[in-house]
Amino acid sequence: MEYRSGFISIIGSPNVGKSTLMNRLVGQKISIVSDRAQTTRNRITGVVSRENYQLIFLDTPGVNAPKSRLGEYMLKVAYDTISEVDAVLLMIDAAVGIRDKDEKLITELGARIGKTPVVAAINKTDLVSLGTIDELTERLEKENYIKAIVPISAETGRGVDKLEAALIEYLVPGPQYYPDDMVTDQPMWSICAEMIRETALKLLRDEIPHGIGVGIDKIQQREDGLHDVFATIYCERDSHKGIVIGKGASMLKRIGSTARTEIEWLFGTKVNLQLYVKVRSDWRNSASALREFGFDPNF
Ligand SMILES: Nc1nc2c(ncn2[C@@H]2O[C@H](COP(=O)(O)OP(=O)(O)OP(=O)(O)O)[C@@H](O)[C@H]2O)c(=O)[nH]1
Ligand SMILES: [Mg+2]
Protein backbone atom coordinates (compact mmCIF):
# COMPACT_ATOMS: atom_id res chain seq x y z
CA MET A 1 0.00 0.00 0.00
CA GLU A 2 1.23 3.48 -0.88
CA TYR A 3 2.30 5.57 2.13
CA ARG A 4 -0.26 8.20 3.03
CA SER A 5 -0.32 11.12 5.43
CA GLY A 6 -2.44 14.07 6.36
CA PHE A 7 -3.23 16.84 8.81
CA ILE A 8 -6.48 16.77 10.73
CA SER A 9 -7.80 19.59 12.85
CA ILE A 10 -9.98 18.74 15.85
CA ILE A 11 -12.65 21.43 16.23
CA GLY A 12 -15.44 21.72 18.77
CA SER A 13 -16.96 23.76 21.59
CA PRO A 14 -14.99 23.99 24.86
CA ASN A 15 -14.90 20.92 27.10
CA VAL A 16 -16.28 18.40 24.56
CA GLY A 17 -13.16 16.20 24.89
CA LYS A 18 -10.90 17.23 22.00
CA SER A 19 -7.67 17.01 23.97
CA THR A 20 -8.72 13.75 25.64
CA LEU A 21 -9.25 12.26 22.18
CA MET A 22 -5.93 13.47 20.88
CA ASN A 23 -4.10 11.96 23.84
CA ARG A 24 -5.99 8.71 23.31
CA LEU A 25 -5.09 8.58 19.61
CA VAL A 26 -1.44 9.38 20.24
CA GLY A 27 -1.32 7.00 23.23
CA GLN A 28 0.34 9.52 25.49
CA LYS A 29 -0.60 12.74 27.26
CA ILE A 30 0.61 15.67 25.20
CA SER A 31 -2.36 18.02 25.47
CA ILE A 32 -3.67 18.98 28.89
CA VAL A 33 -7.21 18.09 29.95
CA SER A 34 -9.55 19.46 32.61
CA ASP A 35 -13.22 19.70 33.41
CA ARG A 36 -12.96 23.46 32.87
CA ALA A 37 -14.03 25.01 29.59
CA GLN A 38 -11.18 26.64 27.61
CA THR A 39 -8.37 24.45 28.84
CA THR A 40 -6.46 24.37 25.56
CA ARG A 41 -5.16 27.79 24.55
CA ASN A 42 -2.96 27.04 21.60
CA ARG A 43 -2.69 24.66 18.70
CA ILE A 44 -1.15 21.39 19.90
CA THR A 45 0.21 18.85 17.43
CA GLY A 46 -0.21 15.11 18.03
CA VAL A 47 1.34 12.58 15.67
CA VAL A 48 -0.01 9.07 15.08
CA SER A 49 2.42 6.89 13.11
CA ARG A 50 1.31 3.51 11.76
CA GLU A 51 2.97 1.18 9.28
CA ASN A 52 1.44 2.67 6.14
CA TYR A 53 0.29 6.08 7.20
CA GLN A 54 0.76 9.05 9.47
CA LEU A 55 -2.03 11.19 10.90
CA ILE A 56 -1.07 14.57 12.29
CA PHE A 57 -3.76 15.93 14.59
CA LEU A 58 -4.07 19.57 15.54
CA ASP A 59 -5.84 19.95 18.86
CA THR A 60 -7.36 23.43 18.99
CA PRO A 61 -8.92 25.72 21.62
CA GLY A 62 -12.66 25.22 22.11
CA VAL A 63 -14.66 27.56 19.88
CA ASN A 64 -16.29 30.19 22.06
CA ALA A 65 -17.33 33.84 22.01
CA PRO A 66 -14.09 35.63 23.00
CA LYS A 67 -13.97 37.75 26.17
CA SER A 68 -10.34 38.90 25.94
CA ARG A 69 -7.46 39.28 23.50
CA LEU A 70 -6.39 35.79 24.50
CA GLY A 71 -9.92 34.57 23.69
CA GLU A 72 -9.75 36.24 20.27
CA TYR A 73 -6.41 34.57 19.67
CA MET A 74 -7.82 31.16 20.67
CA LEU A 75 -10.79 31.48 18.32
CA LYS A 76 -8.52 32.49 15.47
CA VAL A 77 -6.19 29.54 16.12
CA ALA A 78 -9.12 27.14 15.92
CA TYR A 79 -10.55 28.53 12.68
CA ASP A 80 -7.18 29.16 11.02
CA THR A 81 -6.27 25.48 11.19
CA ILE A 82 -9.21 24.66 8.90
CA SER A 83 -7.48 26.07 5.85
CA GLU A 84 -4.27 24.10 6.50
CA VAL A 85 -5.60 20.58 6.89
CA ASP A 86 -6.68 17.61 4.80
CA ALA A 87 -9.72 16.92 6.97
CA VAL A 88 -11.54 18.38 9.95
CA LEU A 89 -12.78 16.36 12.90
CA LEU A 90 -15.83 18.08 14.37
CA MET A 91 -16.53 17.01 17.93
CA ILE A 92 -19.86 17.07 19.75
CA ASP A 93 -20.39 16.21 23.42
CA ALA A 94 -23.26 13.70 23.69
CA ALA A 95 -23.71 14.42 27.38
CA VAL A 96 -24.70 18.04 26.76
CA GLY A 97 -26.09 17.55 23.26
CA ILE A 98 -26.12 20.13 20.49
CA ARG A 99 -26.54 23.50 22.23
CA ASP A 100 -26.90 26.93 20.62
CA LYS A 101 -23.13 27.35 20.60
CA ASP A 102 -22.69 23.99 18.84
CA GLU A 103 -25.37 24.92 16.28
CA LYS A 104 -23.50 28.16 15.66
CA LEU A 105 -20.25 26.27 15.19
CA ILE A 106 -21.87 23.75 12.82
CA THR A 107 -23.19 26.62 10.68
CA GLU A 108 -19.94 28.60 10.81
CA LEU A 109 -17.87 25.54 9.91
CA GLY A 110 -20.17 24.77 6.98
CA ALA A 111 -19.64 28.32 5.71
CA ARG A 112 -15.85 28.19 6.03
CA ILE A 113 -15.05 24.61 5.13
CA GLY A 114 -14.97 24.73 1.32
CA LYS A 115 -14.04 21.32 -0.08
CA THR A 116 -12.24 20.00 3.01
CA PRO A 117 -13.97 16.83 4.25
CA VAL A 118 -15.42 16.81 7.75
CA VAL A 119 -15.85 13.76 9.97
CA ALA A 120 -18.01 14.23 13.07
CA ALA A 121 -17.32 12.44 16.34
CA ILE A 122 -20.08 12.20 18.93
CA ASN A 123 -18.04 11.96 22.14
CA LYS A 124 -18.80 10.90 25.73
CA THR A 125 -21.13 8.14 24.57
CA ASP A 126 -20.27 6.33 27.81
CA LEU A 127 -22.58 8.85 29.51
CA VAL A 128 -25.69 8.57 27.32
CA SER A 129 -28.28 6.14 25.93
CA LEU A 130 -28.34 4.76 22.40
CA GLY A 131 -31.46 6.87 21.77
CA THR A 132 -29.49 10.06 22.42
CA ILE A 133 -26.72 8.96 20.06
CA ASP A 134 -29.35 8.29 17.35
CA GLU A 135 -30.89 11.73 17.81
CA LEU A 136 -27.54 13.48 17.55
CA THR A 137 -26.61 11.39 14.50
CA GLU A 138 -29.87 12.39 12.79
CA ARG A 139 -29.17 16.06 13.43
CA LEU A 140 -25.62 15.85 12.06
CA GLU A 141 -26.73 13.87 8.99
CA LYS A 142 -28.65 16.96 7.87
CA GLU A 143 -25.34 18.71 7.13
CA ASN A 144 -24.14 17.83 3.65
CA TYR A 145 -20.56 18.76 4.40
CA ILE A 146 -20.27 16.08 7.10
CA LYS A 147 -18.99 12.93 5.39
CA ALA A 148 -19.10 10.46 8.29
CA ILE A 149 -20.40 10.36 11.87
CA VAL A 150 -18.73 8.17 14.49
CA PRO A 151 -19.91 7.75 18.10
CA ILE A 152 -16.95 7.46 20.46
CA SER A 153 -15.78 7.70 24.02
CA ALA A 154 -12.40 9.39 24.17
CA GLU A 155 -12.29 8.45 27.85
CA THR A 156 -12.80 4.68 27.46
CA GLY A 157 -11.49 4.39 23.90
CA ARG A 158 -14.74 2.97 22.55
CA GLY A 159 -15.15 3.67 18.83
CA VAL A 160 -11.82 5.45 18.53
CA ASP A 161 -10.43 2.78 16.15
CA LYS A 162 -13.51 3.24 13.93
CA LEU A 163 -12.92 6.98 13.97
CA GLU A 164 -9.30 6.50 12.93
CA ALA A 165 -10.45 4.22 10.10
CA ALA A 166 -12.93 6.88 8.93
CA LEU A 167 -10.20 9.54 8.92
CA ILE A 168 -7.68 7.42 6.99
CA GLU A 169 -10.03 7.70 4.01
CA TYR A 170 -9.03 11.34 3.68
CA LEU A 171 -5.27 10.91 3.85
CA VAL A 172 -3.39 11.65 0.66
CA PRO A 173 -0.28 9.99 -0.79
CA GLY A 174 2.49 11.90 0.90
CA PRO A 175 5.59 11.91 3.03
CA GLN A 176 6.12 10.80 6.59
CA TYR A 177 6.28 14.27 8.12
CA TYR A 178 7.60 13.21 11.54
CA PRO A 179 9.84 10.34 12.68
CA ASP A 180 8.06 7.26 14.13
CA ASP A 181 8.95 8.08 17.72
CA MET A 182 7.91 11.73 17.63
CA VAL A 183 4.48 12.33 19.14
CA THR A 184 4.43 16.13 19.15
CA ASP A 185 6.43 19.09 17.92
CA GLN A 186 5.82 21.08 21.09
CA PRO A 187 9.06 21.92 22.87
CA MET A 188 9.67 20.37 26.30
CA TRP A 189 9.44 23.73 28.09
CA SER A 190 6.00 24.29 26.62
CA ILE A 191 4.67 20.87 27.70
CA CYS A 192 6.22 21.52 31.09
CA ALA A 193 4.39 24.87 31.45
CA GLU A 194 1.15 23.26 30.35
CA MET A 195 1.46 20.50 32.95
CA ILE A 196 1.84 23.11 35.67
CA ARG A 197 -1.18 24.96 34.31
CA GLU A 198 -3.19 21.72 34.17
CA THR A 199 -2.47 21.07 37.84
CA ALA A 200 -3.51 24.61 38.72
CA LEU A 201 -6.72 24.16 36.70
CA LYS A 202 -7.50 21.01 38.65
CA LEU A 203 -6.72 22.31 42.12
CA LEU A 204 -8.04 25.88 41.96
CA ARG A 205 -11.70 26.79 41.87
CA ASP A 206 -13.99 29.49 40.51
CA GLU A 207 -12.63 32.06 38.09
CA ILE A 208 -8.99 31.89 39.17
CA PRO A 209 -7.78 29.16 36.78
CA HIS A 210 -8.97 31.06 33.72
CA GLY A 211 -6.64 33.93 34.59
CA ILE A 212 -3.57 31.76 35.09
CA GLY A 213 -0.56 31.81 32.80
CA VAL A 214 2.62 29.83 33.33
CA GLY A 215 6.06 30.96 32.24
CA ILE A 216 9.15 28.73 32.35
CA ASP A 217 12.10 30.80 33.55
CA LYS A 218 14.83 28.18 33.32
CA ILE A 219 15.35 24.45 32.87
CA GLN A 220 18.76 22.97 33.52
CA GLN A 221 20.09 19.46 34.01
CA ARG A 222 22.56 18.45 36.70
CA GLU A 223 25.37 15.93 36.16
CA ASP A 224 23.40 13.21 37.94
CA GLY A 225 20.51 13.70 35.48
CA LEU A 226 18.13 15.65 37.71
CA HIS A 227 16.37 18.59 36.05
CA ASP A 228 15.91 21.89 37.86
CA VAL A 229 12.80 23.64 36.58
CA PHE A 230 12.09 27.26 37.54
CA ALA A 231 8.61 28.43 36.64
CA THR A 232 6.33 31.36 37.42
CA ILE A 233 2.58 31.19 37.78
CA TYR A 234 1.05 34.49 36.72
CA CYS A 235 -2.35 35.51 38.02
CA GLU A 236 -4.46 38.58 37.54
CA ARG A 237 -4.95 39.98 41.06
CA ASP A 238 -3.30 40.16 44.48
CA SER A 239 -6.26 38.31 45.98
CA HIS A 240 -5.74 35.51 43.41
CA LYS A 241 -2.05 35.34 44.25
CA GLY A 242 -2.98 34.71 47.89
CA ILE A 243 -5.26 31.85 46.87
CA VAL A 244 -2.69 30.31 44.53
CA ILE A 245 -0.12 30.33 47.34
CA GLY A 246 -2.58 29.26 50.05
CA LYS A 247 -2.26 29.18 53.82
CA GLY A 248 1.35 28.51 54.76
CA ALA A 249 2.02 28.01 51.00
CA SER A 250 -0.09 24.84 51.15
CA MET A 251 -1.73 25.30 47.72
CA LEU A 252 1.53 26.15 45.99
CA LYS A 253 3.11 23.05 47.54
CA ARG A 254 0.25 20.87 46.28
CA ILE A 255 0.49 22.34 42.77
CA GLY A 256 4.26 21.85 42.86
CA SER A 257 4.29 18.24 43.99
CA THR A 258 1.53 17.13 41.59
CA ALA A 259 3.09 18.92 38.61
CA ARG A 260 6.53 17.62 39.54
CA THR A 261 5.37 14.01 39.25
CA GLU A 262 4.01 14.72 35.76
CA ILE A 263 7.19 16.51 34.68
CA GLU A 264 9.38 13.70 36.05
CA TRP A 265 7.45 11.31 33.86
CA LEU A 266 7.92 13.65 30.90
CA PHE A 267 11.69 14.00 31.37
CA GLY A 268 12.25 10.49 32.66
CA THR A 269 14.44 11.91 35.43
CA LYS A 270 14.07 13.33 38.92
CA VAL A 271 12.90 16.93 38.89
CA ASN A 272 13.36 19.79 41.31
CA LEU A 273 10.48 22.17 40.57
CA GLN A 274 10.66 25.72 41.91
CA LEU A 275 7.41 27.63 41.52
CA TYR A 276 6.96 31.39 41.93
CA VAL A 277 3.73 33.36 41.84
CA LYS A 278 3.44 36.85 40.37
CA VAL A 279 0.61 39.22 39.63
CA ARG A 280 0.29 40.55 36.12
CA SER A 281 -2.98 42.39 35.97
CA ASP A 282 -5.12 41.90 32.89
CA TRP A 283 -2.38 39.93 31.10
CA ARG A 284 -4.99 38.22 28.92
CA ASN A 285 -5.47 41.58 27.19
CA SER A 286 -1.79 42.53 27.00
CA ALA A 287 -0.03 41.94 23.68
CA SER A 288 3.41 41.80 25.33
CA ALA A 289 2.32 39.30 27.98
CA LEU A 290 0.62 37.14 25.34
CA ARG A 291 3.82 37.13 23.31
CA GLU A 292 5.85 36.18 26.38
CA PHE A 293 3.56 33.24 27.11
CA GLY A 294 3.93 31.94 23.57
CA PHE A 295 0.75 33.29 21.97
CA ASP A 296 1.56 35.00 18.70
CA PRO A 297 0.09 38.49 19.02
CA ASN A 298 0.13 39.10 15.25
CA PHE A 299 -3.40 38.12 14.62
N1 LIG B 1 -17.25 10.61 30.55
C2 LIG B 1 -16.43 11.09 29.62
N3 LIG B 1 -15.71 12.21 29.89
C4 LIG B 1 -14.90 12.68 28.92
C5 LIG B 1 -14.76 12.05 27.66
N6 LIG B 1 -13.87 12.76 26.93
C7 LIG B 1 -13.47 13.79 27.70
N8 LIG B 1 -14.08 13.75 28.91
C9 LIG B 1 -13.92 14.71 30.02
O10 LIG B 1 -14.39 15.98 29.57
C11 LIG B 1 -13.62 17.05 30.14
C12 LIG B 1 -13.06 17.94 29.06
O13 LIG B 1 -12.07 17.24 28.33
P14 LIG B 1 -10.98 17.98 27.45
O15 LIG B 1 -10.30 16.94 26.64
O16 LIG B 1 -10.15 18.89 28.26
O17 LIG B 1 -11.93 18.86 26.50
P18 LIG B 1 -11.53 19.89 25.37
O19 LIG B 1 -12.56 19.78 24.29
O20 LIG B 1 -10.12 19.69 24.94
O21 LIG B 1 -11.70 21.28 26.12
P22 LIG B 1 -11.07 22.73 25.77
O23 LIG B 1 -9.59 22.58 25.62
O24 LIG B 1 -11.45 23.57 26.93
O25 LIG B 1 -11.74 23.19 24.50
C26 LIG B 1 -12.55 16.37 31.00
O27 LIG B 1 -13.00 16.35 32.33
C28 LIG B 1 -12.47 14.97 30.41
O29 LIG B 1 -12.04 14.00 31.34
C30 LIG B 1 -15.53 10.85 27.42
O31 LIG B 1 -15.48 10.22 26.37
N32 LIG B 1 -16.34 10.46 28.44
MG1 LIG C 1 -8.52 20.95 25.02
Can you tell me which atom of ligand 1 is nearest the CA of 64? 25
Please count the other Cβ atoms lying within 10 Å of the Cβ belonging to residue 187.
11
Going by alpha carbons, the residue nearest to atom 2 of ligand 1 is: 124
pLDDT digits (tens, 9 = 90+) for 68-101: 999 999 999 999 999 999 999 999 999 999 999 9
37 CA distance to ligand 1 centroid (A)? 9
Asked if residue 108 has pLDDT above 80, the reply is yes
Pairing of β 44-49 and β 4-12:
unpaired
Map out the domains of the chain as residue ranges. 4-173, 188-292
pLDDT digits (tens, 9 = 90+) for 50-66: 999 999 999 999 999 99
Rg (CA), the chain: 20
CATH architecture under which domain 4-173 falls: 3-Layer(aba) Sandwich (3.40)
Residue 299 confidence (pLDDT): 55
CB burial of residue 138 (10 Å; 0-12, 13-18, 19+): exposed
The preferred substitution site among 10, 11, 15 for testing ligand 1, maximizing ligand atoms within 8 Å of CB, is 15
Instruction: Look at 226 and 206; give whichever has higher pLDDT.
Output: 226
Q: Which residues, including other chains, have CB under 8 Å from residue 259's CB and lie 6 or more apart? A: 195, 196, 198, 199, 273, 275
pLDDT band for position 295 (50/70/90)?
confident
126 CA distance to ligand 1 centroid (A)? 12
Asked if residue 297 has pLDDT above 70, the reply is no
Residue 205 confidence (pLDDT): 85
pLDDT digits (tens, 9 = 90+) for 127-158: 999 999 999 999 999 999 999 999 999 999 99
Question: How far out from the chain centre does Cα 226 lie?
Answer: 28
Pocket of ligand 1 (CB under 6 A): 12, 14-20, 33-35, 37-40, 61-62, 123-124, 126-127, 153-155
Residue 298 confidence (pLDDT): 63
Domain 188-292 falls in which CATH fold?
A: GMP Synthetase; Chain A, domain 3 (3.30.300)
In our burial notation (b when 16+ CB lie closer than 10 A, e otherwise), range 39-76 reads bbbbbbbbbbbeeebbbbbbbbbbbbeeebbbbebbbe
pLDDT band for position 293 (50/70/90)?
confident
Q: Residue 117's closest CA among 63, 72, 172, 155?
A: 172
pLDDT digits (tens, 9 = 90+) for 169-221: 999 999 999 999 999 999 999 999 999 999 999 999 887 888 999 999 999 99
d(CA 149, CA 206): 35
Q: pTM, whole model, 2 decimals? A: 0.95
Q: Quick one: what percent of the chain has pLDDT higher than 70? A: 99
Asked if residue 163 has pLDDT above 60, the reply is yes
